[in-house]
Chains A and B, each alone.
Chain A
Amino acid sequence: MKKVITGDHAVAIGAKLSRVEVVPAYPITPQTLIIEHIADFVNDGEMDTKFLTMESEHSVMSAAAAAEAAGARVFTATSSQGLAFMHEMVYATAPLRLPVVMANANRTLGGPPGIWCEYNDSMGVRDSGWLQVYVEDNQEALDMVIQAYRIAEDKRVLLPVMPCLDGFVLTHTVEPVDIPEQQDVDSFLPPYEPDVILDPSRPAMIGTFMPAEYIMELRRQTAGAVESAKSVIQEVNDDFTRRFGRDYGGLIDTYRIDDAEVALVTMGTVTSTSRQVVDELRQEGEKVGLVKLRFFRPFPSEELKKALKDTGAVGVVDRSLSFIGGGQAFNETRSALYGLSIPIINHLAGLGGRDVTEWQIRKMFELTLRAAKGENVNTVNWHNTRGESV
Chain B
Amino acid sequence: MFELRFHGRGGQGAVMAAQTLAEAAVIEGNYAVAFPFFGAERRGAPVLAFARIDSKKIYSKTQVYSPDCVVVLDDSLLDTIDMVAGLKANGSVVINSRDKPEDIDLGKEITTAAVDATSVALEILKAPITNTAILGALAKTTGIVKIESIEEAIKRRFGEKLGANVGERNALAARTAY
Closest Cβ neighbor of A170 among chain B residues: B61
Query: Per DSSP, are chain A's interface residues mostly helix, strand or loop, or mixed?
Result: mixed
Q: Taking beta carbons and an 8 Å cutoff, which residues of B are in contact with A?
A: 19, 22-23, 26, 31-38, 58-63, 65
Per a CB cutoff under 8 Å, which of A272, A355, A357 touches B59? A272
Per a CB cutoff under 8 Å, which of B19, B22, B32, B60 touches A273? B60
The answer to whether A273 and B23 have CB atoms under 8 Å apart is: no
Apart from A136-B61, A173-B61, A272-B61, what 8 extra A-B contacts exist at CB < 8 Å?
A2-B26, A4-B32, A170-B61, A174-B19, A176-B26, A272-B59, A276-B59, A358-B62
The CB with the most chain B CB atoms within 10 A, among A169, A176, A270, A273, is that of A176
Give the top 9 A-B pairs by smallest Cβ distance, nearest first.
A173-B35, A269-B61, A175-B33, A276-B59, A4-B23, A272-B59, A357-B62, A272-B61, A174-B19
**Which residues of chain A from 252 to 275 have any CB-CB distance to chain B below 8 Å in the complex?**
269-270, 272-273, 275
The answer to whether B62 and A273 have CB atoms under 8 Å apart is: yes
Report the separation of the CA atoms of residues A270 and B19 in the bound assembly, to the nearest whole angstrom: 22
Nearest Cβ distance between residue A5 and chain B, in whole angstroms? Answer: 9
The answer to whether A168 and B32 have CB atoms under 8 Å apart is: no
Known: A4-B22, A174-B19. A169 touches B61 (CB 8 A): yes
Contact partners of A115 in chain B: CB under 8 A: 38
Q: Taking beta carbons and an 8 Å cutoff, which residues of A are in contact with B?
A: 2, 4, 115, 136, 166, 168-170, 172-176, 269-270, 272-273, 275-276, 355-358
The answer to whether A355 and B63 have CB atoms under 8 Å apart is: yes
Report the separation of the CA atoms of residues A169 and B37 in the bound assembly, to the nearest whole angstrom: 9
Report the separation of the CA atoms of residues A174 and B20 in the bound assembly, to the nearest whole angstrom: 10
Report the separation of the CA atoms of residues A175 and B65 in the bound assembly, to the nearest whole angstrom: 19
Per a CB cutoff under 8 Å, which of A166, A174, A176, A272 touches B60? A272
The answer to whether B59 and A4 have CB atoms under 8 Å apart is: no
Q: List 28 contacting pairs A-B, 8 Å CB cutoff, sorted by A.
A: A2-B26, A4-B19, A4-B32, A115-B38, A166-B61, A168-B35, A168-B36, A169-B61, A170-B61, A172-B35, A173-B33, A173-B34, A173-B35, A174-B33, A174-B34, A175-B22, A175-B31, A175-B58, A176-B26, A176-B32, A272-B61, A273-B60, A273-B61, A275-B59, A355-B63, A356-B62, A357-B62, A358-B62
